[in-house]
Structure 1
Amino acid sequence: MTRAPVRLRRTLAAFLGLSLGVLSGGLAAPTVSQAAPSSAPTPSTSITVNGTKPGLTFDGVGAISGGGGNSRLLVDYPEPQRSELLDYLYKPGYGASLQLLKLEIGGDTNSTDGAEPSHMHTAGTVDCNQGYEWWMAEQAKARNPRIKLAALSWGAPGWLGGGNFWSQDTIDYLMSWMDCADGHGLTIDYLGGWNERGYDKTWYRNLKAALVSHGYGATKVVAADSDWGVADAMAQDQAFKDAVDIVGVHYPCGYLDAYATCPSTPTAQRLGKPLWASENGSQDADTGAPAVARSINRGYLDGKMTAYFNWPVIAALYPNLFFSTDGMSVANQPWSGNYHIGKTTWVTAHTTQFTRPGWRYIDSAGGYLGGTRTNGSYVTLKSTNNTDYSTVIETMDATSAQTVSFSVTGGLSTGQVHVWDTDVKSDDSSRWFVHQQDVTPSGGKYTLTLQPGHLYTVTTTTGQGKGTAVSPARKALGLPYSDDFETRATTTSPKYFSDMNGAFQSVSCGGGRTGTCLRQMAPMSPIRWTEEPYNAPYTIMGDGTWSNYTVSADTMFEQAGTVELLGRVNQQGRNNNGLNAYHLRVSDTGAWSIDKSDTKWNFTTLASGTTGALGTGSWHTVAFTLEGSALTAVVDGVTVGSATDLGYTNGQAGLGVTGYVTEQFDDFALTPGTPTSHEGRVASGLAGKCAAADASGASGTPVRLWDCDGSVAQTWTWSNGTLTQGGKCLDVTGQGTVDGTAVILWDCTGGANQQWAPQPDGSLKGVQSGRCLDVPGGSTTNGTELVIWDCNGGANQRWTLP
């Protein structure tokens, strides 16, 4: 978007959100020694920054890699984009500058949007090179040697304790994982138990003892990564209290809301232990920024919490997964290198770039502006040098400008302070994390005017910065595509493959074949974190815009079982509780079927039969062709059956097994079918009316009903289940799924809210929502905005595609 230049310094000051004092060689804020003009607002808050009155020790702000495959695609990004993304996460003075990083201890089981591989798929066999979390931690440490590492399990291999997480087996398993970390040159500073699954007091006591006996006595134990009930148990059991160093609670500010209040409990505060928001966030990289801004401040003000972990660290996962835009940034196209640095990055930087763990809060310089929550909050921390300080102020809910007057005393610096500002309400990234001005206090005093919806940091420190790396444009992953698994990927997972359950690892081939193959490694159902009704290993890859193609692979049954090829994989249900996809399943007995699954794991068998037995220990080629509504199964070059279905028009490919068996795959290939790109108008079943977008073509433009006139605004391209105009996609706002959700133009992401499935009655069903493109009330008025609605077959839901 083109923006007019800012020509006057007073205009610039208003743009950045602070009042002007003296204009002399640049911007300067007024000090209290200057007479304010009569129109100036009355100061609403006085803040005394007294260095002799410290509060609790600050432990840091960080994020979580794991809890469900959310970092998976980052490792497959090309350079320089991969390093740019890592810099935006970890490099001091560049981006989020994270101070803490929590790693998932993989368990071969789905833990939200994917599965992290275990280092011990079976008892007695340790592989310290599984997965990508070691790589992530090493990259974080390389950029910020001061970053502290935490670790937590979401699930675990099923052999532990006969399926009981709270067992000595699990403690031994964790000690072997700690040994792996040590082998990677990583020190784990904090270790937890089982994510959001309560606690076992005896187990925690034994964990503490094991850490000491294995030489990891400096590692602090966190419990219980759930709710405040663990504090009550610690207060009543001294041995349990002694075993736990830190009380970690998830979502103390609420879940997926504004995070306006962040309380702990009196019992927790009386323990004398650090209290942490050990998981918070779960919000979009941009729209979640106001909640993060509130919660980092208010966690300390309301609950005396001294650390904050955002879930997740980055949305480096496919767009068809449920939490696909949550994190500091979004990186879901490793083949193009495209990424988006989220507003949450810069909201986080307002604390992390101006503080360090070990600093102390100054309680007398923290509170709510004007004593009212809706005005906003502020916290102040002082450095270990007892001179520098930083004050972070948020005005997320304020409705008007307000002033704050600072008075600095108690040995802290009364010299120049630097003011940084983010206009959190703005979608213009040039207004995020701006070094706004420098202020020279008079007698340790100065006054600032704050605008609503902003986040400010006032600091005596220097060295902050805003990264300048720019993302390349998005592009499709072209077909044909193949992977023979011979080219070594950065990790043991093949390039672009993201496991949803189980663990698919590159290993030496079996069955008499030389070279490297892909093997499903988990031999039994894990100790699970999610509770999806269909619990089976599968892995997905590729571009959600693919439509007509053949997916094929060589397969070898190590044991009796069933393998599957997946096609047109699109929307996954939350926590893997379903998947819109087609499955070609082939058994060692020769039984085969073409099945269709949905986002509740309802399966419909579209065709089935039996071919010659394939047996175990030998290789066979299986292929699945998806061409329009025709779905065809081929085994060893022979067509064994077919089915017809119009439900899913586009999506990724994948591999799977229908139980926890250790089968192998090789020579994975995707061959393009007939292109489906057509250009023209999208005509409504309401006579003479067409779908039209505003001529500007900007993201967010409503799509409306209008008299058909053949204009550019009514010219659409239909390709692979998407409708595009001027490079933008027909999009369901906010990934909404309820009746009446508006339909707009938006940047194409490959997400299921931009995928549409033509139905036999002429309606156009949204893949994510299951609702149809609709003209509300059957209106024929020009300008009527289109929405999604329950499919009913009416003329107002019938469309003729290009």
Structure 2
Amino acid sequence: MARLLRLTPLWILALLAALLAVGAPAHAAAAATSVTVDGTQGGRTFDGIGAISGGGGNSRLLADYPATQQSQILDYLFKPDYGANLQLLKAEIGGDANSTDGSEPSIEHSKGTVNCNAGYEFWLMQQAKARNPNIKLYGLAWAAPGWISGGFWSTDTINYLISWLGCAKQHNLTIDYLGGWNERGHDVNWYIQLRSALNAAGYGAVQIVGDDSGWSVADDMASNSAFNNAVQIIGAHYPCQGGDGGNSDTCSSTANAKNNGKPLWASENGSQDMNSGAPALIRSITRGYVDADITGSLNWPLVAAIYPNLPYATVGLATAASPWSGNYSIGENTWATAQVTQFAQPGWKFIDSGSGYLGGAESNGSYTTLKSPNGKDWSTVLETTTATAAQTATFTVKGGLSTGAVHVWATDVNAPKAATDFVHTQDITPVGGSFSLTMQPGYVYTVTSTTGQGKGTATSPAAHPLALPYADDFDADASGTEATYLSDMQGAYEVQPCAGGRSGQCLQQMAPVKPIEWQDDSDAYSLIGDTSWSNYTVNLDVFLRSAGTTELLGRANEQERPQSHMNAYYFRIRDTGQWWIEKMYTDGSNHTLATGTTTALGTGTWHKLSFTFQGTQISAAVDGHTVGSVADSSFLSGQAGLGIQGYRTDQFDNLSITPGTGTAQPPVGPVTSGISGKCLDDYTGSSVSGTKADLWDCNGTAAQRWAFTDGTLQTAGKCLDITGAGSANGTLAELWDCNGGANQQWEPENGALVNPGTGKCLDDPAFSSTNGTQLDIWTCDGGANQQWTLPS
């Protein structure tokens, strides 16, 4: 600064001083926007904003919540002027097969036997209707029961869907929309036949959505009038930039879709974290109309009422993973949705001339304007989620619309916190129909002539684990219902009268044959309990109706898609008495830890199975007799479960999970290399993220003390990590904060440490024996430089 004073003329210094006094802005101001809200102008009809219960058991645990908290969650989702205020609810038509986070039961496991009380979707629709009688209901199948002949695109499936509509009617529910097969394209003749069958069965008012995949359905509708007449709504999935879980900065449809004239829906959208996904959610709504004429949008899923070890555990409008404690969390997605649904109703009209991009640029944000059928009320939704500076919009209201007081509501979606969620920020009185609004970056604003909006005040209790011991004999459950806390991953487990001469109620796998699936098959199994459970015994009575294998699960934790890809231990036993203790990994690999043969179980008789975890010791018993045991430290906590291999109708009774002692701790010690005398080492014993994982003479120091726990190798509070989540040969290994990433997972396999995400092995480059050599990953080749012995 001294040098500047010596060389700069006084008038320049004066100017600099003035600028410093005022303060230069951090970013240049965005261009101003003029929004004309003209009641004489119009656009397409708004069909509503909704969410999806389905695509795999994502509402399962909500049904088991305590009545008080259950009602609070439902209010936040459906009650008008309280929370998300949903206007559409899409429910899965169950098919006994996993469709992302679980398997939803069919109403007809076996042909001709219909159970209209199966599952929870009819209950959920009733709850939604009770809170908002105007909500529209939509049914869609992901899977279908295996008795259907001719595959999904068959007459049997049409008859099945009509039976499902009949069950809805028994529950006093009117279904407004019906789809085909989720994300599996379309069969033109099947849709034409479906329309005819619905009309003949008295469901002519049910509108068909085609095809719950992509916009190509509109191409076939343009060339086939019968198909065009059969479909009333053109529905595509994830039509915005980035697709499933994408950023939704821009959206698109096609000329054939737009020119058809029928409503265009994002009939599945979202796949976003309930908090961080809110900016993309609101962009998909506003930009969905501006870019693509999309008039209806359904977020997947409604709620993550699933166990936290399953995929998409924080995705939706809210999370509800702890029914025993009543704990839940309302996400930012709820308030982003409310910024639309509490200010415009289905049947309102978009005003195209009052919709666009702020300052004419996508980077500034977008806005849409809607008007009510009475020609008086109006609302404009504006989002600044991609903006970097404050900006101003000037409104001119005319054409018969209200020019009275304007009410402004706002939510800071880029930085979620309760204090800035759905806040009534100000009221503005227009002068001559005009007014201005200054908007900050990262927000969604609604400017409206309407009143009556509100923000719910119910609060959640604190979470706590499901206490052990836990037991359920199923006798208190009605036939045809699901057992408390059991979450089916494949197949369908329902309570039925006990077989084999046993009185009372038992749990039965109901799908007798393999379903028509939506994603890959697995054992028909169900999970229960708390992911924090560590040392415990699973006890269960089993009744094999026919020859086959039954199973108990323990320490089940992280699951990937498909559902067979899960970190868990299994005790499997056949009717012949052959048994296995096995572990599965998230890459789908199966590893036998112990096997043998005991007295045959046979069929038609009851037996008691037990699966025990205490520290690193795992044992299995049949009818009180231990048949096998093994030591393994791969997984130290997780849920319990039960299942069968195949699709038999075996039964289970007297489920109990009893506690062991303490909490399992991983063995800690050196990880020795196949290169003689060398160990896996934390270079310089550092606890700084980015420290290289290297090779060094085995020396017993803290830098070589590793714990292998839940698939990770940990030392100094850090995890062994693949740099930058790379997958190329030679990508270096380092230490980093443990974050659950796939690049921090390691699976022992034939003496190697394999990263399941890449399939590559932890490797000592070029068989080096030089101390300090940084390790990397490389294609597995069985070499000594890829051999590692874990602590035991």
Normalized against structure 2, the TM-score is what? 0.84
The structure 2 residue matched to 1:639, chosen from 626, 633, 636, is 626
The Cα of 1:373 is off from its aligned counterpart by 0.9
Determine if the alignment matches structure 1 residue 362 to structure 2 residue 362. Answer: no
The structure 2 residue matched to 1:604, chosen from 591, 597, 600, is 591
Question: Is the CA contact (8 Å cut-off) linking 2:570 and 2:581 kept in structure 1?
Answer: yes
Question: Is the CA contact (8 Å cut-off) linking 1:650 and 1:721 kept in structure 2?
Answer: no
AA at the equivalent of 2:472: D
The alignment partner of 1:233 has SS state of helix
The Cα of 1:322 is off from its aligned counterpart by 1.4
For 2:94, the equivalent position in structure 1 comes to 106
Q: 1:235 to 1:770 in 2, by over 3 A?
A: closer
For 2:250, the equivalent position in structure 1 comes to 261
Q: 1:690 to 1:486 in 2, by over 3 A?
A: farther
The Cα of 1:151 is off from its aligned counterpart by 0.5
Deviations 1:403-453 (A, max 9, x none): 100000011000011111111221322112111111111111000111111
Higher deviation after alignment, 178-187 or 613-622:
613-622
The alignment partner of 1:427 has SS state of coil
The structure 1 residue matched to 2:298, chosen from 309, 312, 318, is 309
Task: State the alpha-carbon separation in 1 of the partners of residues 777 and 465 from structure 2.
Answer: 26
For 1:419, the equivalent position in structure 2 comes to 408
Task: State the alpha-carbon separation in 1 of the partners of residues 760 and 462 from structure 2.
Answer: 31
Question: Is the CA contact (8 Å cut-off) linking 2:219 and 2:257 kept in structure 1?
Answer: yes
Deviations 1:499-540 (A, max 9, x none): 11100001111010011100000000010100x2x5321001
- What aligned pairs does 1:568-607 form with structure 2 within 5 A after superposition? 568-607=555-594
The alignment partner of 1:574 has SS state of coil
The structure 2 residue matched to 1:94, chosen from 76, 79, 82, is 82
The Cα of 1:341 is off from its aligned counterpart by 1.1
Q: Highest CA radius of gyration, 1 or 2?
A: 2
The structure 1 residue matched to 2:124, chosen from 136, 148, 151, is 136
Task: State the alpha-carbon separation in 1 of the partners of residues 756 and 641 from structure 2.
Answer: 18
The Cα of 1:645 is off from its aligned counterpart by 2.1
For 2:283, the equivalent position in structure 1 comes to 294
Determine if the alignment matches structure 1 residue 665 to structure 2 residue 656. Answer: no
Question: Is the CA contact (8 Å cut-off) linking 1:755 and 1:767 kept in structure 2?
Answer: no
For 2:441, the equivalent position in structure 1 comes to 452
Task: State the alpha-carbon separation in 1 of the partners of residues 363 and 70 from structure 2.
Answer: 40
The Cα of 1:55 is off from its aligned counterpart by 0.8
Task: State the alpha-carbon separation in 2 of the partners of residues 667 and 269 from structure 1.
Answer: 58
Question: Is the CA contact (8 Å cut-off) linking 2:140 and 2:179 kept in structure 1?
Answer: yes
AA at the equivalent of 2:82: Y
Task: State the alpha-carbon separation in 1 of the partners of residues 548 and 657 from structure 2.
Answer: 24
Determine if the alignment matches structure 1 residue 82 to structure 2 residue 80. Answer: no
Q: 1:163 to 1:479 in 2, by over 3 A?
A: farther
Deviations 1:19-55 (A, max 9, x none): xxxxxxxxxxxxxxxxxxxx99686110110011111
For 2:58, the equivalent position in structure 1 comes to 70
Residues matched between the structures, number: 733
Task: State the alpha-carbon separation in 2 of the partners of residues 446 and 729 from structure 1.
Answer: 55
The Cα of 1:402 is off from its aligned counterpart by 1.1
Question: Is the CA contact (8 Å cut-off) linking 1:650 and 1:755 kept in structure 2?
Answer: no
Task: State the alpha-carbon separation in 2 of the partners of residues 118 and 582 from structure 1.
Answer: 29
Question: Is the CA contact (8 Å cut-off) linking 1:109 and 1:529 kept in structure 2?
Answer: yes
The Cα of 1:78 is off from its aligned counterpart by 1.5
For 1:492, the equivalent position in structure 2 comes to 481
Q: 1:124 to 1:677 in 2, by over 3 A?
A: closer
Q: 1:571 to 1:489 in 2, by over 3 A?
A: farther
The structure 1 residue matched to 2:552, chosen from 565, 569, 572, is 565
The Cα of 1:115 is off from its aligned counterpart by 0.6
For 1:123, the equivalent position in structure 2 comes to 111
Deviations 1:724-775 (A, max 9, x none): 9xxx999999x989888995589xxxx8999999999xx999999999999x
Q: Which ranges of structure 1 fall in alignment gaps of 5 or more residues?
A: 1-38, 694-701, 706-716, 775-786
Determine if the alignment matches structure 1 residue 154 to structure 2 residue 142. Answer: yes
AA at the equivalent of 2:55: G
Higher deviation after alignment, 580-589 or 106-115:
580-589
AA at the equivalent of 1:655: L
Q: 1:667 to 1:163 in 2, by over 3 A?
A: farther
Q: 1:730 to 1:60 in 2, by over 3 A?
A: farther
Task: State the alpha-carbon separation in 2 of the partners of residues 571 and 247 from structure 1.
Answer: 37
For 1:386, the equivalent position in structure 2 comes to 375
- What aligned pairs does 1:651-662 form with structure 2 within 5 A after superposition? 651-662=638-649
The alignment partner of 1:55 has SS state of coil
Deviations 1:338-388 (A, max 9, x none): 222111111111101111101100011000111111111000011122111
The Cα of 1:543 is off from its aligned counterpart by 0.9
For 1:552, the equivalent position in structure 2 comes to 539
For 1:57, the equivalent position in structure 2 comes to 45
Determine if the alignment matches structure 1 residue 173 to structure 2 residue 142. Answer: no
Question: Is the CA contact (8 Å cut-off) linking 1:682 and 1:690 kept in structure 2?
Answer: no
The structure 2 residue matched to 1:376, chosen from 365, 370, 373, is 365
For 1:281, the equivalent position in structure 2 comes to 270
For 2:221, the equivalent position in structure 1 comes to 234
Q: 1:799 to 1:81 in 2, by over 3 A?
A: farther
For 1:504, the equivalent position in structure 2 comes to 493
The Cα of 1:604 is off from its aligned counterpart by 1.6
AA at the equivalent of 1:569: A
Q: 1:737 to 1:41 in 2, by over 3 A?
A: closer
Task: State the alpha-carbon separation in 1 of the partners of residues 313 and 654 from structure 2.
Answer: 29
Task: State the alpha-carbon separation in 2 of the partners of residues 622 and 482 from structure 1.
Answer: 15
Question: Is the CA contact (8 Å cut-off) linking 1:163 and 1:527 kept in structure 2?
Answer: no
For 1:712, the equivalent position in structure 2 comes to none
For 1:187, the equivalent position in structure 2 comes to 174
The alignment partner of 1:576 has SS state of coil
The Cα of 1:721 is off from its aligned counterpart by 9.7
Q: 1:107 to 1:396 in 2, by over 3 A?
A: same
The Cα of 1:549 is off from its aligned counterpart by 1.3
Deviations 1:572-601 (A, max 9, x none): 122325111111111112121111111232
Question: Is the CA contact (8 Å cut-off) linking 1:571 and 1:768 kept in structure 2?
Answer: no
Task: State the alpha-carbon separation in 2 of the partners of residues 512 and 437 from structure 1.
Answer: 70
Q: 1:772 to 1:297 in 2, by over 3 A?
A: farther
The alignment partner of 2:455 has SS state of coil
Task: State the alpha-carbon separation in 2 of the partners of residues 687 and 112 from structure 1.
Answer: 39
Determine if the alignment matches structure 1 residue 339 to structure 2 residue 332. Answer: no
Deviations 1:580-638 (A, max 9, x none): 11111111121211111112322122211221221211100011112222221101111
Percent of residue pairs bearing the same amino acid type: 54
The alignment partner of 1:308 has SS state of strand
For 1:464, the equivalent position in structure 2 comes to 453
AA at the equivalent of 1:606: L
The Cα of 1:91 is off from its aligned counterpart by 0.8
Question: Is the CA contact (8 Å cut-off) linking 2:683 and 2:691 kept in structure 1?
Answer: no
Task: State the alpha-carbon separation in 2 of the partners of residues 93 and 729 from structure 1.
Answer: 46
AA at the equivalent of 2:221: M
Higher deviation after alignment, 131-140 or 577-586:
577-586
The alignment partner of 1:616 has SS state of coil
Deviations 1:130-151 (A, max 9, x none): 0011111111111111110001
Q: 1:57 to 1:758 in 2, by over 3 A?
A: closer
Question: Is the CA contact (8 Å cut-off) linking 1:703 and 1:744 kept in structure 2?
Answer: no
AA at the equivalent of 2:112: G
Task: State the alpha-carbon separation in 1 of the partners of residues 789 and 400 from structure 2.
Answer: 73
AA at the equivalent of 1:222: V
For 2:677, the equivalent position in structure 1 comes to none
